[in-house]
Chain A
Amino acid sequence: MIAKKITERIDEIDSFESKFKGVVLKNNNLIIPYFNLGVSQHPLNEMNDLKYLNFSYIVCLNVSYLAGWSEEERIDVVIIDGIKKEQVYYFGGENLDDKNSIFNDFKICCKEIYLQTLDTTELSDKKWKMDDEFIKEKVSDFWNGKFMPTAVKELIG
């Protein structure tokens, strides 16, 4: 797959069983690195059943509202309390940095949002396994930001 910015049908992305790590919130931009993001009825997979991306980013620009779910207190903790628009995006999954972190699930309002694929992104019918030998090293590089496109890096530079 080629590195691509996909702005269409963000609501058709499923992060319920995905994993994320190294979330960055800077310059009012939120970057979530994702492993196993699911897509269906989406430009990358028009079928009904989910297919999974090994590596990708969700990029949110000019975030005006951000809340994170506290697993311990079972409440949404508001992090940016600006304009809450009608269109709310939900992203979450398993936070590999801290499973009990308040950043477990995100509720986001922003000016622009897109899915960023990478040159190393592949799509699979089944979920990817992080500890599979053939992908292990790439996973580690991905979490370390090695594949992050320059345009994304600049947003948080």
Chain B
Amino acid sequence: MNTLDSFAPRYAQIMFGLAVGEVVGIFSATVKVDLMGGTGGSKLGSGWINYDLEASGLSGISDDVANFSKHFPQGSVSEIVANNPQTTFLSEVTPSLESGGTITVRGNMTNKYFKGIYNGKAEGLENYNVISRTENVPNKGYMKTGGNDPVTGKINEIILMKKTN
């Protein structure tokens, strides 16, 4: 099965609740990914796909971030949110993000992967413009890995926009 074949039915299911195979014109839909969103489906609401090693359910894709582009063809994703990322990911998701697409990353400065992005040192940042950097954003009940312990501490946010090719 090529990438496009595997991509289409899954998004038809997620975006429109269709059974596999009922794919009609979904590529105009906005694809939004909750990256490393934890166990189960996305906690960000409907229309978000949870991409995490422990994702499950209709709106979840369980895989390593290294395989992101196998699930999302080039330029097919318009928005990514990564709350407290637990690994490096910018280089892996960049091909799948459309030009002008955004990545919102929130996290604590004790999280080395977040800190690398927030401080402008992470690999892959050269493909992005920084739209905003905000200190101390509200904690909307984020959870640590495993989903049992709440995230504490100061949470900062950075929004990146992919440069136009």
Contacting residue for B145 out of A11, A17, A76, A105, CB 8 A: A17
Stretch at the interface among A21-29, A85-93, A148-156: A85-93
Stretch at the interface among B23-31, B33-41, B74-82, B84-92: B84-92
* Residues of B close to A16: CB separation below 8 A: 84, 107-108, 110-112, 114, 144
B3 at the interface (CB under 8 A from A): no
* Residues of B close to A15: CB separation below 8 A: 110
B5 at the interface (CB under 8 A from A): no
Stretch at the interface among B13-21, B55-63, B96-104, B149-157: B149-157
Alpha-carbon distance between A55 and B78 when the two chains are bound, in angstroms? 42
Contacting residue for B111 out of A12, A14, A71, A76, CB 8 A: A14
A40 at the interface (CB under 8 A from B): yes
| A105 & B113 in contact (Cβ 8 Å cutoff) | no
Q: Which residue of B lies closest to A100 (CB)?
A: B152
* Residues of B close to A71: CB separation below 8 A: 152-153
* Residues of B close to A50: CB separation below 8 A: 86-87
* Residues of A close to B114: CB separation below 8 A: 16
Alpha-carbon distance between A15 and B84 when the two chains are bound, in angstroms? 12
* Residues of B close to A12: CB separation below 8 A: 112
| B112 & A40 in contact (Cβ 8 Å cutoff) | yes
Alpha-carbon distance between A141 and B110 when the two chains are bound, in angstroms? 26
| A105 & B86 in contact (Cβ 8 Å cutoff) | no
A48-B88, A50-B86, A74-B136 known; A99 vs B152 contact (CB < 8 Å)? yes
Please tell me the number of chain B residues within 8 Å of chain A, measured between CB atoms: 20
Q: Which residue of B lies closest to A70 (CB)?
A: B154
Alpha-carbon distance between A92 and B84 when the two chains are bound, in angstroms? 14
Contacting residue for B153 out of A11, A13, A38, A105, CB 8 A: A105
* Residues of B close to A13: CB separation below 8 A: 112
| B110 & A105 in contact (Cβ 8 Å cutoff) | yes
| B112 & A38 in contact (Cβ 8 Å cutoff) | yes
Alpha-carbon distance between A102 and B152 when the two chains are bound, in angstroms? 11
Q: Which of A76, A99, A105 is packed against the most chain B CB atoms within 10 Å?
A: A105
Alpha-carbon distance between A127 and B145 when the two chains are bound, in angstroms? 10
A56 at the interface (CB under 8 A from B): no
Binding site for B on A (CB under 8 A): 11-17, 38, 40, 48-50, 69, 71, 74, 76, 90-94, 99, 104-105, 107, 127
14 extra interface residue pairs, beta carbon distance < 8 Å, beyond A11-B115, A104-B152, A105-B108? A12-B112, A14-B110, A48-B87, A48-B88, A49-B87, A50-B87, A69-B153, A76-B154, A99-B152, A105-B110, A105-B152, A105-B154, A107-B109, A127-B145
- A selection of 11 A-B contacts at a CB cut-off of 8 Å is A14-B111, A48-B87, A48-B88, A49-B87, A50-B86, A76-B154, A90-B110, A90-B115, A99-B152, A104-B152, A127-B145
